[in-house]
Structure 1
Amino acid sequence: MSLSAVPLPPVAGPDPAKTSSEAALGCLLVAGAAIAWSTGGALTRFVEADDNWTIVFWRSVFAALFLIGFMLVRDGPRGTWRLFQNMGLAGVGVAICFATASSCFIIALSYTTVANVLLLQAGVPLFAALISWVLFRERIGAATWIAIAVVIAGVAIMVSDSLDGAVSPIGDMLALLIAISFAIATVITRRKAHLRMTPAVFLGVAMAACFASMMADRFAVDARDFGLLFALGAVNLGLGLAFFVSGARLIPSALAALISTLEPVLGPVWVWLLHDEVPAPRTVIGGAIILAALLVHFGWEYSRQRRAAARWS
């Protein structure tokens, strides 16, 4: 009997059930990140410190402490060290992106309005999709493009009450840099899905803390603000970053960026609940449009994956 007559074992293809479960987990983790990030505005309202760089410094320090503690508990000292060794240039790139985004956010707000920043940040899914398509030919479905367009329109409606004729080129360019940095970090995290990017975001917030330490007028805060800044660092920033880099590696870049737009939708809800500040009608309408677009898109993706799994079974 010749070797050519020996039947070869079938080549195992991707397991649709596993792929579907990983995608669902990725969506949940990125949504969890958006929920954590959305608490930032409401918590910051309670902080009495008037130096923004002091806030950035302590927020970044506590985020760094949370992230290093998270890695030590999950992976142990040796495992954590290996994560830093393995992150390579991709991890450094993600760190620079997150350090740039977190630092530019504060600077941008001193030149332009929150509305302008939010409007430009709504372009993150678009930038992530374009970068993935141009550089890596990652296919972006028509449904995702439609959802991105609807989300941008929803954010535009949300912030339309706050937009004015004053345009600051510096502020708006910084806001654009925030969106592009976040999109690049999302794409790198997805392309290097075999790497855990938790050490990269730790490095990013550590870089932001170092930069803020050079800009802050003082570091002393009272006990109340210290507790609030701990929550802002550990929960709002640290936990959010840990969720995001864990989930973004499991789903397409455009989808991860799209889900993260839950942040501006949920932000006014926390302010309403904690500060009794009723959102403006356009904020509610725009938020409802974004939420509906995301829910419809998730439902379509779930249905598509179920059909794919049925064909493989």
Structure 2
Amino acid sequence: MTALRSSPVPAARSWLGIALVLGSALAWSYGGAIQRFIGLNDGWAIVFWRCLFGGLFLLAFMLIRDGFAGTVRLFRAMGWPGLMVAIGFAAVSTCFVLAVSMTAVANVVLFMAGIPLFAALLARVVLGEPITAVTWGAIGAVIIGVAIMVSASIGEGGSLLGLALAASIPVIFACMTVLTRRHPDIRMTPAASTGCFIAAAIAATQAGAFAVGAQDLALLFAFGALNLGLGMAMYVTGARMIPSALAALLGTAEMILAPVWMVLLHQEVPSGRTMIGGAIVLAALFTYLIGHSRRDPGPHRPPAS
């Protein structure tokens, strides 16, 4: 009887976790579409406002959830590994905005789809973690898919700098992933909030001007608080309730939805080669994640809070 009464609670938490992680993917997916509506031509000014609003949102989230004293403890407990993750988050947030201003959103998010595979490869080098034949095959497929996407962008006169910035995102994220595996006590919410403020501070030294109109300010608030901050808050909350492989699979919705938003809202249709290369990347990612879920079905207990 006790088991029957207690069983709905984990099930309810699991469904809530699924809903929150899917919500985070949805929130993150429309970032590129929002940026296209912003009238600012200065990418550094966009980074400043987005990361300022994102950092303030995450700070408010921690204050509401943990109280003032709890929030202070979270920041104090970060240590140098948490600071390194914060720096990585600042770099990723900056690269995303600048890359989207230079190349198609589909290129950026499909590069990001390779994050788990880059992390697996780096973990093999740094931590000595084994890589299965399926993972090696998926890594090879991602390389082929990315090569096809890059060839399409270069053939269309795309920005090499934009592609380089997009390519740096999964590499930085892979480093952050390996660091969190080495130091599992890293708390992601204070690290992300700190990273936002670091990025805003750096962008403030590079931006030409900070003045924006009311419409652009509202879009920048949505870009920072609702896209970056709310997405992170939902993910760190929901990912603790479900298996890590399931959270990663649900997170791929971002890569699928982002190009759809661009087609619907901005008529930014990816080229044929971009779609072919992206399909190869996503197929490789799904193969890897499904295989990983069969090996590691246990509950996810990330240090992300």
Q: TM-score, normalised by structure 1?
A: 0.72
Q: Mark the CA change 1:155 to 1:34 in structure 2 (over 3 Å): closer, same or farther.
A: farther
Say yes or no: does 1:65 pair with 2:56. Answer: yes
Give the Cα separation in 2 of the matches to 1:89 and 1:32.
31
Contact kept, 8 Å, 1:30 with 1:248, in 2: the verdict is yes
Contact kept, 8 Å, 1:158 with 1:283, in 2: the verdict is yes
Deviations 1:208-254 (A, max 9, x none): 111111112221211111111111101221233345556788877x9
Q: Which residue of 1 aligns with 2:4?
A: none
Give the Cα separation in 1 of the matches to 2:77 and 2:95.
28
Give the Cα separation in 2 of the matches to 1:266 and 1:109.
16
Q: Which residue of 2 aligns with 1:194?
A: 185
Of residues 253, 265, 268, the one that matches 1:274 is: 265
Q: Where in structure 2 are the equivalents of 1:109-258 lying within 5 Å?
A: 113-114=103-104, 121=112, 124-164=115-155, 174-243=165-234
Q: Which residue of 1 aligns with 2:46?
A: 55
Q: Which residue of 2 aligns with 1:9?
A: none
Q: Where in structure 2 are the equivalents of 1:37-56 lying within 5 Å?
A: 37-56=28-47
Give the Cα separation in 2 of the matches to 1:134 and 1:255.
25
Letter matched to residue 66 of structure 2: D
Give the Cα separation in 2 of the matches to 1:298 and 1:61.
33
User: Which consecutive unaligned segments of at least 5 residues does structure 1 have?
Assistant: 1-20
Give the Cα separation in 1 of the matches to 2:233 and 2:82.
14
Q: How far apart are 1:142 and its partner, in Å?
A: 2.9
**Aligned residue pairs, count:** 288
Q: How far apart are 1:125 and its partner, in Å?
A: 3.4
Give the Cα separation in 1 of the matches to 2:144 and 2:25.
19
Q: Over the residues paired in the alignment, what is the CA RMSD in angstroms?
A: 4.1
SS at match of 1:45: helix
Give the Cα separation in 2 of the matches to 1:160 and 1:263.
23
SS at match of 1:193: coil
Identical-residue share of aligned pairs (%): 53
Q: Which residue of 1 aligns with 2:91?
A: 100
Deviations 1:115-151 (A, max 9, x none): 8766765654343112212222233333333334334
Give the Cα separation in 2 of the matches to 1:279 and 1:151.
18
Say yes or no: does 1:81 pair with 2:68. Answer: no
Give the Cα separation in 1 of the matches to 2:52 and 2:205.
14
Give the Cα separation in 1 of the matches to 2:199 and 2:59.
15
Deviations 1:134-192 (A, max 9, x none): 22223333333333433443444445432239798876665554433221112223333
Contact kept, 8 Å, 1:34 with 1:262, in 2: the verdict is yes
Letter matched to residue 31 of structure 2: G
Deviations 1:72-108 (A, max 9, x none): 2222222111111111111101011111222344556
SS at match of 1:54: helix
Contact kept, 8 Å, 1:128 with 1:257, in 2: the verdict is no
Give the Cα separation in 2 of the matches to 1:163 and 1:245.
37
Deviates most, 56-65 or 116-125: 116-125
Contact kept, 8 Å, 2:53 with 2:221, in 1: the verdict is yes
Q: How far apart are 1:68 and its partner, in Å?
A: 0.7
